[in-house]
């Protein structure tokens, strides 16, 4: 089910202090009309909301981290869901002692400082729809 795609454009920049990290990435994709791509980021957050998908219950369990954390790595992809650009990202964060936390990035993660690279691709649009086996909105 793999499809050939081609690199099109790159965008680099800094997100604003206090932005919701996931919403800022969605906003950038809407503004630049990016419907297919990938995203990476590093920086720091003031607090975070992460998720873990329970494969038995088919629901996300969220983890609230109300503390200052470094973004060790954020990686994700961009596709289309409900006819809009959709960022699906996972993030690894670390605290002052080096302890790490990771998972699915949820709204509620407040940027302290964040540098991001977004790569736009040319190729068939990947659309998300509910998958009956996993319960997740997967590429169709």
- The pLDDT tens digits of the residues spanning 27-44 come to 999 999 999 999 999 999
Q: How confident is the model at residue 49 (pLDDT cuts 50, 70, 90)?
A: very high
Which residue ranges form the domains of the chain, and what is each CATH number? 14-83+92-115 (3.30.1330.80)
Q: What is the pTM of this model?
A: 0.95
Does the pLDDT value for residue 123 go beyond 80? yes
Give pLDDT, residue 1.
Answer: 76
Average pLDDT for 78-83: 97
Compute the Cα dihedral for 76, 82, 27, 134 and give only its sign.
Answer: negative
d(CA 32, CA 11): 9
The pLDDT score that the predictor gives to residue 56 is 97
CA pseudo-torsion sign 2, 29, 116, 17: negative
């Amino acid at each position: 089910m793999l499809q050939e795609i081609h690199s099109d454009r790159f965008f680099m920049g800094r997100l604003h202090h206090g932005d919701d990290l996931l919403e800022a990435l969605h906003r950038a994709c809407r503004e630049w009309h990016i419907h297919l791509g990938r995203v990476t980021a590093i920086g720091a957050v003031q607090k975070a909301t992460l998720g873990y998908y329970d494969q038995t219950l088919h629901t996300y369990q969220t983890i609230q981290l109300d503390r200052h954390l470094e973004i060790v790595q954020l990686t994700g992809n961009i596709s289309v869901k409900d006819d809009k650009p959709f960022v699906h990202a996972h993030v690894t964060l670390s605290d002052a002692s080096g302890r790490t936390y990771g998972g699915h990035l949820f709204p509620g993660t407040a940027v302290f400082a964040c540098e991001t690279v977004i790569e736009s691709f040319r190729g068939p649009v990947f659309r998300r729809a509910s998958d009956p086996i996993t319960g997740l909105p997967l590429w169709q």
